[in-house]
Structure formats: C-alpha cells, structure tokens
C-alpha cells in the first residue's frame, strides 16, 4: 500500500467523521429542545417509547447521544427506568438509519450535496437555514469521505498480512472484541459501522467475518453511556446496564444463529447476502438493522424483567439512602466534558428538583423554629442548625454548578432559567437564615424565663401557618402562572398586613403591662424575620414567573 493510498485513507476517514459530525450538529441544532418536550410527554406505553427512541435517534444520527440523554433524564427524575428501556430499544433501531444512508449509491451526487450545503451556510444569513445547510453539507462530505476510504482500501486486498488479519475476524470472539474495542475508542457505532462498510466495499472483508465485528460494535457503543453515568444516581447507572444487556443478549443470539444455521442447511449470513448480492455495504446495513429489530421484538415483552435484573445487578446500598450532606439530583460536571444533546433539559430539571429539596428543608426549619419558640425548647436549636448547614451546603453546591453551566449555555431561554435558579437558591438560603434567627430566640426565652401571653402565642401560630402555606405554594405544580403569582403575592401581602397588625397588638399589650420588655423585643425581632420570609417567598415566585419556570 503506497504512501498516497495511506494519505487518501486518512483524508477519507477525516472527511467521513467530519461529515457525520456536521450532519449530527445540524440535526441537533435544527431540532432544538424539541427532543426534551417529546421525551417529557412520553407515556409508559412500550410501543410508543420504542417509536420515540427510534425517531429521535434517526434524527440526531446517534444512539449514544440518545442513551446519554436518557441516562441524564433518569438521573434527574424526568423519566422512569421502565420508560428508559423502551427508549433504549428504539435508539438501537434508529441508529441503523446511518448505515442504510451510507449503503445508498449516491456517491456521484455527494459533491453536489456538499456544495449546496456549504453554499447555504456561507451565503444565507438565517440561522435555521445554516442548520439545514450543515445537514446537507455533512451528508455530502460523509459520502465523499466514504468513497475516498473505499478507493484507498482496494490495494489492501493484495496484502497477505492484512487479508490474514481480516480472516481472523471470522473467529466470533476476536471479531466481537475488535468491533467493541474500536467503537469504544471512537465512541460512535454509526461511524465504526460506516468504516466497516468501506472495508466491505473495497472487498477487504466479507460479510461472514464482518458480522462478528458488527455485533461487537453494538456492544462498544455502550461505552459513551457508561462514561455519562459516572457520578450519577443508581437508577442512571441501571440505565446503562440495561443498554449493555440489550446489546449483549442480541450479540449472543445472533452469533449463535450465524454459527448454528449453516449446520441446519440454511445460513443467516447467506440470506442477508442474497437480499443485495452486489452491495456489500447494504449487506452490513441490513444485518445491522435486522440485529436491532429482532432483538427489540424479542426483548419488548421482557422490558420490566430487564429493569428488575438491572436492580438485582445494582441493588440499593445503605450508604445511598440519604446519609450525610450530598446532592441528590445534580450530576457533577467534568470541566472538559463536551456538551451533549439534551444536556440543558437535563441540568435544568436537576436544578429544579434539587431546589425543591432545599425548599422543603427550609419549610421544615421554619416550622421547627416557631415550635421551638412556642415550647421555649432550646434543644431544637441543634436540629435547626444541622438542617441550616445542609441548606448552606446545597446553596454553595448549586451556585457552583450554575456558575459552570451558565458559561456554556447559548440558548437564551435556558440561560434565563439558570440565572433565575441561581437567585432562587440564594432566597431559599435566606429563608433558612431567618428560621434560624427565630429558633435562636427560644434559648433567650428559656434563659431569661420570658413567657408570651396566650394572645401572642396565637399570633405566633398564625405566623407559622401562613409561612408554611406560602412556602408550600412555591413547590406546587403551576397550571396557571399568572393566577399562581397573584396567589403568592396575596400571601406575601397578608404576611405584611399581619406584621403591621401584630405590631399594633404588641403596643396595646405593652400599654396594658401584659408584655415584658424582653418579650417585647423578641416578639418584635420575630415579626421582622417573619416579614423577611414573606419577601423572599415573593422574590422566588417572581423569579420563577419571569423565567417561565415550570
């Protein structure tokens, strides 16, 4: 093989991979956040789930990207593990569309596709047109690279060493390992299948050997999802196990069929070859499609069993059950991690759930604080401080997470949502601070033997009730945003009115000599904290409303 052939092979590979990247990026940009909305509306219907997974993967040209998106959605709670099974099955079917496109004999039109796509990107100003240009241009560049690779590989047929290497892939174990390793390295089954098709077109490898490499490629594509699950919750990791199970079961099944059917006088490989005898690339594409469709049909009734198996393989651990301060929903972000499809939807959902968790802690601390004052029970301060430390920890971690993701966020709507969540975290932390202040008064009441009158106690109970109601309103489901904001505003106004009214009542008690000096000061401080809680509740509602947060 000459230097010119080697350079042509490398250049063709570069164009092929770049064309695939152009096409995938264009498709992702054109689709926007519609992937998120489709998945969020997904029902538990298994057939619908498979169809959605197949369509999305066919659109974005990457089963790895779909699976990574699903891992994130399961980790954030947007999707159940059972729903993820159907999406993964569909993704494996959808990814075969790339091989079928490559198998089409459109090489003569490839330069035209590339020219039209680049012209759309260079000469037209509308961003949406640029996305479509990227899709068309990427498709053309992909086919040009494919033709270059195929032409450069033709001399390999005359190299005994290389032919001997390809022959070794007829050994199922070696073929599967080679396919899995190569796909894991480049993290794209579509690209590795395309390269295998180029080898087949050049006559270097026959379908009899290529099938085992192809089966291994289906396993190797799981590495992307495995890497994406690092640092996630148990359910997200189980999603990757299900993905691996699907492809391993399919590989075992089809490897057995390829080995056994010739002994029965028929041949699976021969059957696939007979469908398109003059097109090696189509043979590989058809086997890839057959592999994923048949495996999906066989495993479709067993989806819930696969979920149970994944839970048995990766059971809950004692240390996973809310021990110590930790992030329950947010997934740590690697500074060098590339942006993936659906990532915005994932971390926005994670932020929402982590903040709801933080808000629940603040709500409980508010109730604990008022109870400590009413019971004059300083022993509750230690519990209050522990939860307050947790709230501070969450505020710090959430703020750090947001400071990282907002730098890379290009979507205006998502950027506004992330900014709003940053401010909401700060307001929740301030609610916790005011609850801590109120709880601290219980120690002074006990130490100085200060007692509130029954009237003052009743007012404290009213403060606790309306504070709790206002905070609960923040974590509820919003069906009508305008009406919801009006209700929260009314509650905040009620808290302001109660503060003014209770101050007047306090002055009357002072004139009557019912309220001691120490009691008067503490009650006045408590009213200030109560009013501030209302202010922060309204701030949160306004931020949520202005950014159109769910």
The reported pLDDT for the residue numbered 489 is: 95
Residues 125-138 have pLDDT tens digits of 787 788 788 878 88
Q: Reduced to 3 states, what is the DSSP secondary structure of residue 124?
A: coil
The reported pLDDT for the residue numbered 335 is: 44
Which is more confidently placed, 264 or 324?
264
CA-to-CA distance for 27 and 32, rounded, in angstroms? 9
- What is the dihedral sign for C-alpha 427, 433, 439, 441? negative
- What is the dihedral sign for C-alpha 393, 395, 398, 401? negative
Find all residues with CB under 8 Å of 152, minimum gap 6, and list them.
5, 6, 8, 9, 12
Confidence of residue 24 (pLDDT cuts 50, 70, 90): low
Residues 186-221 have pLDDT tens digits of 666 777 787 888 778 777 788 888 888 889 888 888
The reported pLDDT for the residue numbered 145 is: 77
Find all residues with CB under 8 Å of 472, minimum gap 6, and list them.
363
Q: What are the C-alpha distances in Å from 443 to residues 119, 243, 311, 449, 467?
A: 75, 56, 48, 10, 22
Q: What are the C-alpha distances in Å from 536 to residues 255, 371, 416, 468?
A: 63, 21, 19, 13
Which is more confidently placed, 269 or 533?
533
**DSSP calls for 456-524:** HHHHHHHHHHHHHHHHHHHTS--S-HHHHHHHHHHHHHHHHHHHHHHHHHHHHHHHHT-S-HHHHHHHH
Average the pLDDT over each of 9-18, 23-32, 49-58 and give the range with the smallest value: 23-32
Average the pLDDT over each of 31-40, 52-61, 503-512 and give the range with the smallest value: 31-40
Average the pLDDT over each of 114-118, 261-265, 367-371 and give the range with the smallest value: 261-265
> Mean of the per-residue pLDDT values for the chain?
81
Residues 272-297 have pLDDT tens digits of 888 888 888 888 889 988 998 999 99
Domains of the chain and any CATH numbers = 3-313 (no CATH), 343-546 (1.20.58.220)
Tell me the angle at which helices 3-31 and 189-201 cross, rounded to the nearest 10 degrees.
140
Q: Does residue 330 register a pLDDT over 50? A: yes
Q: What percent of the chain has pLDDT over 90?
A: 25
Q: What percent of the chain has pLDDT over 70?
A: 82
Q: Does residue 321 register a pLDDT over 60? A: no
Q: Does residue 339 register a pLDDT over 60? A: no
Q: Does residue 232 register a pLDDT over 70? A: no
In this structure, the number of other CB atoms found within 10 A of the CB of residue 265 comes to 6
The reported pLDDT for the residue numbered 231 is: 63
Confidence of residue 430 (pLDDT cuts 50, 70, 90): very high
Which is more confidently placed, 459 or 266?
459
Q: Does residue 488 register a pLDDT over 70? A: yes
**Backbone conformation region of residue 77, classed left if phi is above 0, alpha if psi is from -120 to 50, else beta:** left
Tell me the angle at which helices 189-201 and 63-76 cross, rounded to the nearest 10 degrees.
170
Find all residues with CB under 8 Å of 208, minimum gap 6, and list them.
170, 269
């Amino acid at each position: 093989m000459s230097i010119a052939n080697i350079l042509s092979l490398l250049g063709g590979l570069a164009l092929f991979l770049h064309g695939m990247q152009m096409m995938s990026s264009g498709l992702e940009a054109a689709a926007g956040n519609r992937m998120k909305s489709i998945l969020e509306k997904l029902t538990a219907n298994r057939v619908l789930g498979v169809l959605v997974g197949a369509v999305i993967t066919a659109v974005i040209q990457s089963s790895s990207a779909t699976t990574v998106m699903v891992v994130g959605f399961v980790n954030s709670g947007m999707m159940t593990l059972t729903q993820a099974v159907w999406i993964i099955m569909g993704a494996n079917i959808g990814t075969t569309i790339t091989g079928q496109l490559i198998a089409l004999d459109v090489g003569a039109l490839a330069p035209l596709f590339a020219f039209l796509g680049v012209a759309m990107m260079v000469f037209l100003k509308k961003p949406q047109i640029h996305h479509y240009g990227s899709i068309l241009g990427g498709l053309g560049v992909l086919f040009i690279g494919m033709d270059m690779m195929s032409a450069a590989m033709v001399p390999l047929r005359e190299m005994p060493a290389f032919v001997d290497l390809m022959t070794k892939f007829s050994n199922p174990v070696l073929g599967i390992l080679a396919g899995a390793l190569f796909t894991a390295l480049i993290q794209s089954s579509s690209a590795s299948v395309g390269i295998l098709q180029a080898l087949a077109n050049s006559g270097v490898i026959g379908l009899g050997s290529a099938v085992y490499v192809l089966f291994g490629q289906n396993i190797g594509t799981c590495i992307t999802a495995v890497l994406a699950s690092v640092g996630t919750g148990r359910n997200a990791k189980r999603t990757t196990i299900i993905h691996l199970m699907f492809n391993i079961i399919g590989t075992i099944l089809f490897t057995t069929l390829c080995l056994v059917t010739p002994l029965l006088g028929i041949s699976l490989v021969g059957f696939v070859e007979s469908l398109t005898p003059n097109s090696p690339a189509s043979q590989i594409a058809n086997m890839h499609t057959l592999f994923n469709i048949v495996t999906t049909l066989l495993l479709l009734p067993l989806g819930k069993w696969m979920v149970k198996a994944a839970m048995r393989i990766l059971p809950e651990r004692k240390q996973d059950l809310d021990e110590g301060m930790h992030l329950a929903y947010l997934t740590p972000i690697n500074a060098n991690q590339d942006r993936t499809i659906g990532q915005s939807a994932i971390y926005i959902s994670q932020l929402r759930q982590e903040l709801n968790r933080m808000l629940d802690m603040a709500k409980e601390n508010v109730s604990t604080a008022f109870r400590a004052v009413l019971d004059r029970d300083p022993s509750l301060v230690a519990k209050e401080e522990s939860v307050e430390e947790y709230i501070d920890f969450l505020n710090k971690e959430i703020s750090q997470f947001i400071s990282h993701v907002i730098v890379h966020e290009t979507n205006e709507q998502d950027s506004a949502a992330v900014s709003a969540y940053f401010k909401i975290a700060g307001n929740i932390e301030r609610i916790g601070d005011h609850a801590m202040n109120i709880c601290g008064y219980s120690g002074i009441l006990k130490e100085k033997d200060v007692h509130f009158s029954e009237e003052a106690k009743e007012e404290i109970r009213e403060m606790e009730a309306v504070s709790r109601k206002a905070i609960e309103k923040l974590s509820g489901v919003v069906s009508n945003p305008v009406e919801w904001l009006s209700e929260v505003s009314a509650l905040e106004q009620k808290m302001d009115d109660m503060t003014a009214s209770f101050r007047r009542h306090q002055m009357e008690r002072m004139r009557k000599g019912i309220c001691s000096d120490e009691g008067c000061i503490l009650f006045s401080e408590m009213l200030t904290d109560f009013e501030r809680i209302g202010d922060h509740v309204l701030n949160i509602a306004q931020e949520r409303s202005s950014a159109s947060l769910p």
